[in-house]
Structure 1
Amino acid sequence: MDLPRIVSVDDHVIEPAHLFSTWLPARYRDRGPRPVTQGIGPLVYQGGKYRFTTDPDGPPTDWWVYEDLLFPYKRVIAAVGFDRDAMTLEGITRAEMRPGCWDPAERLKDMDLNHVEASLCFPTFPRFCGQTFAEARDKEVALACVRAYNDWMVEEWCGDSGGRLIPLCLIPLWDVELAVAEIHRNAARGVRAVTFSELPTHLGLPSIHTGYWDPFFAACAETRTVINLHIGSSSQMPAASPDAPPAVQATLSFNNAMASLADYLFSGVLVRHPDLRLAYSEGQMGWIPYALERADDVWREHRAWGGVRDLIPEPPSAYYYRQVYCCFFRDRHGVDSIDVVGRDNATFETDYPHVDSTFPHTREVALDHVRGLDEETIHKLMRGNAIRMLGLDLDATPHSGV
């Protein structure tokens, strides 16, 4: 079977050591993030969170130092090239990583090896939606860091890729008006994707139900900027027990996406902003059919006491099919349910260079999932829906829906 070249809507980038010394204005550099290489101490996992310490006698690791934060790079986030059992939480240096983790020219070579034409990459040190800068004390420097990251993303990481590396930008999460300004600044240079928290209240930010974020949603709708909601962009992952092993979190990670989708479907945001587009990243899609069925059932049977009778005029699933995208990379159940998930709503990802990545076997993994589907649907899932979602200057088939 011939498989179209893939447009991956969820990959990741390891930031190069020169990012802030090059792109942050000189007056902020002594207060901005600094790269260091030093030993890492034993890992402590407690209450669903990891704690790292330095140790001069520990394995060499590349870190960022920013205010009181020590941020180490770990093998699981730069896992490509390692054997499965070596993809651990141990520290790692850029010299030990596959160069495609942080070098855009090498990334393009790895994409060619992996049957991938274009790729949208989430940040690592800033975390999935820029929480690192939102938590900083000095917000003047933090704003400069957000802008510096975005400038690097657009001009250096994506700049010489011929459109194959797709810019994904941050916003200053702590100020909605600054966020609106950053959306317009980046949209003016062709950016059509921003990352945002799946559950902002978990970051101590206002709920999407309050109306606080409406100027941000309006700016995204106006500029056709897709809001990308990555699992874990709430700085926490679901766990059944405080002492459960990390494997429990990994198994339940889709719960964040499901909770976020329910929030949006009943918030009125998609009603007030019919041109807004959401994309759920790394959440898979096999859970979506029941989530939609349940939401529609609640709307139909419980809307009077449930607080949404006058807020949501149509069944919630109508807004999903019109305005929401999901993505997958290992989800046969989701593909088996593609008519309910939505042939126009599903996109594909490779998760390079994380431990879950299908690199370098993405073509084989994808073929195993889509074998038996018609050619038009395969094209939509592998690239067509992503091209339409992100407004890419690549070929796309005729479409309907979102």
Structure 2
Amino acid sequence: MVGTVGRISDLPKVISVDDHVIEPAHLFETWLPSRHREQGPRPFAAGIGDLQYVGGKYRFTTDPDGQLTDWWEYEGQIFPYKRVIAAVGFSRDEMTLDGITREQMRRGCWDPKARLEDMDLNHVEASLCFPTFPRFCGQTFAEAQDKELALACVRAYNDWMVEEWCGDSGGRLIPLCLIPLWDVDLAVAEIHRNAARGVRAVTFSEIPTHLGLPSIHSGFWGPFFAACEETGTVVNMHIGSSSQMPAASPDAPPAVQAALSFNNAMASMTDFLFSGVLVKFPRLKLAYSEGQMGWIPYILERADNVWREHRAWSGVRDLIPEPPSTYYYRQIFCCFFRDKHGVASIDTVGVDNATFETDYPHVDSTWPHTKEVAAEHVVGLSEEVAYKILRGNAIRMLGLPFDEHQASVTVG
């Protein structure tokens, strides 16, 4: 490919590496083994009551006089769907924390056929979707008391994801599966079970210690990383997959969290660069979802400087044999949807490391204007670079059966 992208008509179709799905009410009734269905997650509708924002987390109650909302009940805990997570089709002033039912949502939030239609409207060819009720890496099940039931729920979700959500999409809906975070041997088994049916993406916590799990430095996750490397399964870490979002003060408004949402991705990536994990598993691929990328040039510079200047005391002299940026360019993918600073630094961010997302159906989503938003970001870039960041890198990262004659292998 030659020349630069100057017209919106030149734009290749997007492959989005970060979207979301609202689970249909029948999911667990259909996909859980019959012996678990009575105790499994139960959908119900009720009015939504008070909202509290405590320690960076939202707490809700039901209220018979409140706005009708679709919920899940699981082990005595209740989880409402809110308008901000099913925001497509609403005006900006309507994208609130009010409750919402599936009938009030745009159907593409939870119906795969309608999702494909919305992707067609949005210049999107393929999409990788994170869970909602299970939370971004399955924390809902990791926190459950009955781990036998929780494991059944993880497997049921994955079966639904592979067979129902993605099954009839012709490869356009890309399966993203969960693992039982509380047991690494079970996690390895689930990686292999899903890889055997073509799954190449799993969701994981950006900072496991925030969930009360062992750190990536502990060695605990070694078998999981080995299984992902062996099967070509990409480890996808969404902002908020540690159940915490950064804020400067405990009583700061949610806007502070929204503005600082990239911080966890930045912290997680730095953790991995100095962990030795990417040295030990040189074919392991990590993907940071919804973290944007404008911050990456500085953190790579800083990490390399620390490695070079502080190696005598910083604990990485013998652990990290090459500058940390080496492992980033070899094994890590970032993604963006509104980040012109990142695009302006694309040579340092990495033309082979950046991918694109639409965040459908969240409040940040570029739907239905993704083509225009993407065009604003890639104008003036070469056709080759625009192709890579809008679809080519995602194809290579996930091993997708698109454009094989155009995909060049640099990372992974």
- Work out whether residues 24 and 148 of structure 1, in 8 Å CA contact, stay in contact via their aligned partners in 2: yes
Structure 2 equivalent of residue 120 of structure 1: 128
Q: Deviations over 1:40-86 (max 9, x none)?
A: 10211122111100001100000000002100000000000000010
**1:363-402 alignment to 2 at 5 Å?**
363-396=371-404, 397-402=406-411
Q: What corresponds to 2:164 in structure 1?
A: 156
Q: How far, CA to CA, are the matches of 1:87 and 1:236 in structure 2?
A: 22
Give the Cα–Cα distance (whole angstroms) in 2 for the partners of residues 126 and 42 of structure 1. Answer: 22
Q: TM-score, normalised by structure 2?
A: 0.97
- Counterpart CA distance in 1 for 2:165 and 2:56 is 32
Q: Which residue pairs with 2:212 in the alignment? A: 204
SS at match of 2:334: strand
Equivalent residue for 2:80? 72
**Are 1:269 and 2:277 an aligned pair?**
yes
> Which amino acid letter does the alignment assign opposite residue 156 of structure 2?
A
- Could you say what secondary structure the match of 2:169 adopts? coil
User: Structure 1: how far apart are the matches of 2:85 and 2:312?
Assistant: 46
- Aligned-residue sequence identity (percent) comes to 81
Work out the CA distance in 1 between the residues paired with 2:33 and 2:48.
30
Quote the Cα distance in structure 1 between the aligned partners of 2:234 and 2:88: 28
Partner of residue 312, structure 2: 304
Tell me the CA shift for residue 259 of structure 1: 0.2
Distance in 1, matches of 2:79 and 2:207, equals 23
Aligned to 1:36: 44
Structure 2 CA distance, aligned partners of 1:90 and 1:96?
Answer: 12
How far apart, in 1, do the equivalents of 2:315 and 2:408 lie? 35
| Structure 2 match to 1:134 | 142
Does the alignment pair 1:253 with 2:253? no
Partner of 1:343: 351
How far, CA to CA, are the matches of 1:36 and 1:24 in structure 2? Answer: 17
What is the alpha-carbon distance in structure 1 between the residues aligned to residue 287 and residue 309 of structure 2? 28
Of the structure 1 ranges 40-49 and 315-324, higher mean CA displacement relative to structure 2 is found in 40-49
Q: Would you say the 8 A contact 1:344–1:399 is kept in 2?
A: no
- 1:38·1:63 contact (CA, 8 Å) conserved in 2? yes
What is the aligned length? Answer: 402
Q: Which residue is equivalent to 2:20?
A: 12
Asked if 1 retains the 8 angstrom alpha-carbon contact of 2:396 and 2:407, the reply is no
Q: Which residue of 1 aligns with 2:329?
A: 321
Distance in 2, Cα, partners of 1:367 & 1:174: 43
Hey, which bits of structure 1, 4+ residues long, moved more than 2 A? 396-401
What is the distance in 2 between the residues matched to 1:399 and 1:302?
36
Letter in 1 for 2:410: G
Query: Quick one: which of 50, 53, 57 aligns to 1:49?
Result: 57
- Deviation string, structure 1 residues 353-377 (Cα, Å, up to 9, x no partner): 0000000000000000000000000
SS at match of 2:224: helix
2:303 to 292, 295, 298: 295
Structure 2 residue 90 is matched with structure 1 residue 82: yes
Q: Aligned equivalents of 1:398 and 1:269: distance in 2? A: 27
User: Matched residues in 2 for 1:371 and 1:262: separation?
Assistant: 31
- Structure 1 unaligned residues grouped into runs of 5+: none
CA distance in 2, matches of 1:398, 1:120: 19
Give the structure 2 partner of residue 213 of structure 1. Answer: 221
Report whether the alignment pairs 1:232 with 2:240: yes
Q: Which digits, 9 at most, give the CA deviation of each residue in 1:311-351, with x for residues without a partner?
A: 00000000000000000000000000000000000000000
- SS of the aligned residue for 1:305 comes to coil
1:19-52 deviations in Å (ceiling 9; x for gaps) = 0000000000011000000001021112211110
Contact in 2 for aligned 1:25/1:144 (Cα 8 Å) = yes
1:375-398 CA deviation, whole Å, 9 max, x = no partner? 000100110000000000001424
The two structures, once aligned, show a CA RMSD in angstroms of: 0.6
Distance 1:40 1:214 in 2: 43
Matched, 1:145 2:158: no
Aligned to 1:175: 183
Residue identity opposite 2:150 in structure 1: A
**Matches of 2:42 and 2:201 in 1, distance apart?**
27
Contact 1:39 1:58 in 2 (8 A): yes
- 2:31 counterpart residue number: 23
Give ranges in structure 2 of 5+ residues lacking alignment.
1-6
What's the TM-score, normalizing by structure 1? 0.99
Alignment correspondent of 2:118: 110
Contact 1:10 1:282 in 2 (8 A): yes
Among candidates 355, 369, 374, match of residue 361 of structure 1: 369
SS at match of 1:125: coil
| Matched-pair contact (CA < 8 Å) for 1:79–1:355 | yes
Equivalent position SS for 1:298:
helix
CA distance in 2, matches of 1:37, 1:400: 49
Task: Check the 8 A contact 1:7/1:117 in 2, yes or no.
Answer: yes
Query: Following TM superposition, by how much is the alpha carbon of 1:400 offset from its aligned partner in structure 2, in angstroms?
Result: 4.3
